[in-house]
């Protein structure tokens, strides 16, 4: 059967070609591998599952991906973050062997994207899931499992995992958008892959659907698999990812552990008079103004001491609490800097 047989209608997007499914069967995970986090494996010198260096992709005069460097470690949930049109999907299509790069080095699971042994250990959902609309979710998975050489029992397992067992016999055309996304994830998990690549998995979902998808991805990340997901939703990435790479206008602008990227906690202080409060707060750490509050980099354990000193100096304190920089603030900060550099 040709690769395009899973496409539906006139859409150019598809879940996975049958070539991806027939490339290999199920791959298990050792208990030892399951217990180790991505950072622990990196510390032990284990190889990255995805290594990208200087990746470039041109479409005529359009530079869609511009010198991207990216590393995904074993056992982590990696968030590939950027606005729509930033180059996320193009990069993921290259990683899954759907398109070829213009230049650069790409290694996935120690091999070249698109190689049969690499495809057999990878599950992915790129853009919108596309299945036969007149078949049930169960029959669509049976078709894919047959080409992958996957046991029927595995179909039941993935349907339970994505909470679709009760609707498995319904036609795909009757599924809600959230159910279609979950069936796409189920298909990506059929071979019990080492690496799962998901492109905007919560795109178009309602709040309840987004919550369920986040729960599912967290479960995948704690089950010994490595997950690489793209998203333009900052809160989503902050909640479920271990590390994040930020791409803007085809260029990577940051790649860090989420906590490292957000930096230290800050003490938020609203006090009057502000100038006097700022002078006192400077004794505890660096201070900057944010809207009508003061923020000081200080150990959370010293918050009560800070309050006591301010009040003792006759300063009226109306607000005092710890906060962390939101990923949203960092994202806009980095993408604004990138635009300024390009300009």
Question: What digits encode the pLDDT tens for the residues 200-246?
Answer: 888 778 888 888 888 888 888 877 789 999 987 777 777 888 899 99
Cα angle vertex 283, ends 277, 287, to 5°?
60
| Phi, psi (deg, nearest 5) at residue 270 | -115, 115
What 35-42 contacts at long range (C-beta under 8 Å, 24+ apart), as own/partner pairs, is 36/74, 36/75, 37/75, 37/76, 37/242, 38/73, 38/74, 38/75, 38/76, 38/226, 38/242, 38/243, 39/73, 39/76, 39/242, 39/257, 40/75, 41/73, 41/74, 41/75, 42/73, 42/74
The predicted structure's pLDDT at residue 31? 36
β-pairing, 293-296 with 287-290?
A: antiparallel
Domain with CATH 3.30.70.980 in the chain: 264-323
| pTM, full prediction | 0.73
Topology given in CATH for the domain delimited by 264-323: Alpha-Beta Plaits (3.30.70)
Domain with CATH 3.40.50.300 in the chain: 3-261
pLDDT tens for the 343 residues of the chain, in order:
333 333 333 333 334 444 455 455 544 443 343 334 444 444 434 579 999 999 999 999 999 999 999 999 999 999 998 888 889 999 999 999 999 999 999 999 999 998 999 998 999 999 888 899 999 999 999 999 998 889 989 999 999 988 899 999 999 999 988 899 999 999 999 999 999 999 988 877 888 888 888 888 888 887 778 999 998 777 777 788 889 999 988 999 888 887 777 666 788 999 999 999 999 999 998 888 888 899 888 888 899 999 999 999 999 999 998 876 666 666 776 766 555 454 4
CA-CA distance, 343 to 340, in Å (whole number)? 5
* Count of alpha carbons within 13 angstroms of residue 309, beta-carbon side: 15
Pinpoint the alpha helices (H) of the chain.
Answer: 18-22, 31-35, 38-43, 88-95, 116-119, 137-148, 152-161, 177-188, 207-221, 234-240, 258-262, 274-281, 303-312, 327-342
β-pairing, 103-108 with 50-59?
A: antiparallel
Among 27, 121, 31, 38, residue whose Cα is nearest residue 79: 38
Among 231, 160, 148, 235, residue whose Cα is nearest residue 193: 148
Topology given in CATH for the domain delimited by 3-261: Rossmann fold (3.40.50)
């Amino acid at each position: 059967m040709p690769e395009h047989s899973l496409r539906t209608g006139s859409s150019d997007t598809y879940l996975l070609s049958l070539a991806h499914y027939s490339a290999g069967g199920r791959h298990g995970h050792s208990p030892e591998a399951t217990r180790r986090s991505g950072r622990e494996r990196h510390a032990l010198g284990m190889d990255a599952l995805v290594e990208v260096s200087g990746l470039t992709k041109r479409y005529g005069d359009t530079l869609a991906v511009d010198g991207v460097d990216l590393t995904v470690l074993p056992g982590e949930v990696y968030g590939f973050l950027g606005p729509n049109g930033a180059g996320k999907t193009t990069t993921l299509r290259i990683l899954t062997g759907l398109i070829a790069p213009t230049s650069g080095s790409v290694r996935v699971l120690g091999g070249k994207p698109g190689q049969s042994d690499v495809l057999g250990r990878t599950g992915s959902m790129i853009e919108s899931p596309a299945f036969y609309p007149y078949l049930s979710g169960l029959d669509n998975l049976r078709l894919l499992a047959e080409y992958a050489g996957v046991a029927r029992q595995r179909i039941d397992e993935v349907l339970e995992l994505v909470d679709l067992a009760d609707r498995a016999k319904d036609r795909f055309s009757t599924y809600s958008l959230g159910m279609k996304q979950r069936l796409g994830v189920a298909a990506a998990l059929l071979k019990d892959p080492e690496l799962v690549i998901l492109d905007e998995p919560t795109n178009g979902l309602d709040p309840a659907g987004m919550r369920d998808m986040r729960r599912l991805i967290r479960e995948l990340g704690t089950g010994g698999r490595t997950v690489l997901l793209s998203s333009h939703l900052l809160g989503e990435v902050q909640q479920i990812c271990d590390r994040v790479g930020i791409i803007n206008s085809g260029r990577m602008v940051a790649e860090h552990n989420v906590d490292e990227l957000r930096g230290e906690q800050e003490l938020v202080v609203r006090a009057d008079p502000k100038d006097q409060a700022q002078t006192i707060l400077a004794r505890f750490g660096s201070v900057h103004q944010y809207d009508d509050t003061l923020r000081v980099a200080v150990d959370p354990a010293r918050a009560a001491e800070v309050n006591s000193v301010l009040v003792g100096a006759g300063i009226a304190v109306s607000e005092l609490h710890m906060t962390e920089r939101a990923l949203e603030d960092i994202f806009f900060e980095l993408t604004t800097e990138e635009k300024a550099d390009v300009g």
